[in-house]
């Protein structure tokens, strides 16, 4: 008796797999383009509603402290230098998280999360202001929403193809993980650096301290995994910032000391 349903050959399996992979790649590319367009259309009020869902998760890790109060006062100084279109209907604030991670990140809803581990590595107010300005740059370019939107859209696309409802069920967990470990493109990070540099110059009249954080960490990239796993290598950023400083003809000036409550005697690079 002949086999009416012969087993597919290896070649046929490879063709089917190739077609399936091509469909996924095309869908992901299309989804990415669609998300980039959609992000520009999302009202700030929608972003703040999303923030209302995820910010409490980080607030539970934080605590009212002198450090958080000082960080918010520094952020207010930077915010006063922003164009009106970037402050209208927004209320930027900092959440200070007393954990050892060396990182800072933008959270939907006008919130910047900063871990104690990062603050312990900062040696001047200027250096810290550059970091805060960089995060404001992500808000200005809506990078945080692009990263989150693409992650969620891709998960939806894959779940639609595979029929895996569990992928969709874990959406909230994915949102939270994506926010604190967001991986921006090199271009997005460089644009945020340029934005932070501009704010630093507007605030102090010079850009001293702009490259200090990256210089201090670039020699210890293997240890500072929390930061460099989600940011471009420090050496490249230092070189690009130095080139930009020359192009913009920014001046250098005096350092401003950190407030006493932001000065730590046990500075070191932490690992989780």
Mean pLDDT of the chain: 81
Where residue 178 falls among pLDDT bands split at 50, 70, 90? Answer: low
CB 121 within 8 A of CB 130: no
- Give CA separation, 140 vs 44, 130, 192, 253, 256, in Å: 12, 15, 8, 27, 26
**Average pLDDT rounded to a whole number, residues 130-140:** 96
Chain-centroid distance of CA 135 in Å reads 7
Cβ atoms < 10 Å from Cβ of 89? 11
Query: pTM for the whole thing?
Result: 0.77
Radius of gyration of the chain (CA): 22
**Average pLDDT rounded to a whole number, residues 92-97:** 97
Q: What pLDDT sits at residue 219?
A: 61
Per mean pLDDT, which range of 70-79, 85-94, 124-133 is the poorest?
85-94
Instruction: Report the alpha-carbon distance of residue 52 to residue 45 in Å, rounded.
Output: 11
- pLDDT tens readout for residues 218-247: 665 544 555 555 555 677 889 999 999 999
Q: What pLDDT sits at residue 233?
A: 60
Where residue 98 falls among pLDDT bands split at 50, 70, 90? Answer: very high
Where residue 54 falls among pLDDT bands split at 50, 70, 90? Answer: confident
Most confident of 49-53, 105-109, 225-229, 265-269: 105-109
């Amino acid at each position: 008796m002949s086999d009416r349903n012969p087993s597919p050959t290896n070649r046929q399996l490879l063709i089917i797999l190739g077609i399936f992979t091509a469909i996924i790649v095309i869908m992901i590319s299309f989804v990415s383009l669609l998300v980039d367009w959609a992000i520009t259309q999302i009202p700030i009020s929608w972003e703040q509603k999303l923030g209302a869902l995820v910010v409490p998760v980080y607030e539970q890790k934080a605590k009212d402290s002198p450090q958080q109060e000082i960080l918010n006062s520094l952020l207010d100084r930077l915010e006063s230098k922003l164009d009106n279109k970037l402050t209208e209907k927004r209320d930027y604030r900092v959440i200070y998280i007393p954990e050892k991670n060396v990182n800072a990140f933008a959270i939907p809803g006008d919130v910047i999360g900063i871990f104690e581990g990062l603050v312990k590595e900062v040696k001047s107010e200027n250096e810290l202001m550059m970091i805060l300005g960089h995060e404001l740059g992500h808000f200005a370019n809506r990078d945080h929403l692009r990263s989150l939107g693409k992650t969620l859209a891709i998960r939806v696309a894959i779940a639609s193809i595979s029929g895996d409802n569990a992928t969709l069920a874990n959406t909230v967990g994915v949102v939270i993980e994506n926010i604190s470990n967001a991986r921006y493109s090199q271009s997005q990070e460089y644009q945020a650096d340029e934005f932070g540099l501009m704010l630093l110059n507007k605030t102090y009249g010079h850009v001293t301290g702009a490259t200090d954080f990256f210089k201090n960490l670039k020699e210890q990239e293997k240890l500072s995994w929390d930061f460099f796993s989600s940011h471009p290598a420090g050496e490249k950023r230092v070189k690009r910032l130095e080139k930009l400083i020359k192009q913009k003809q920014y001046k250098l000036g005096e350092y401003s000391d950190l407030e006493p409550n932001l000065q730590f005697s046990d500075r070191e690079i932490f690992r989780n």
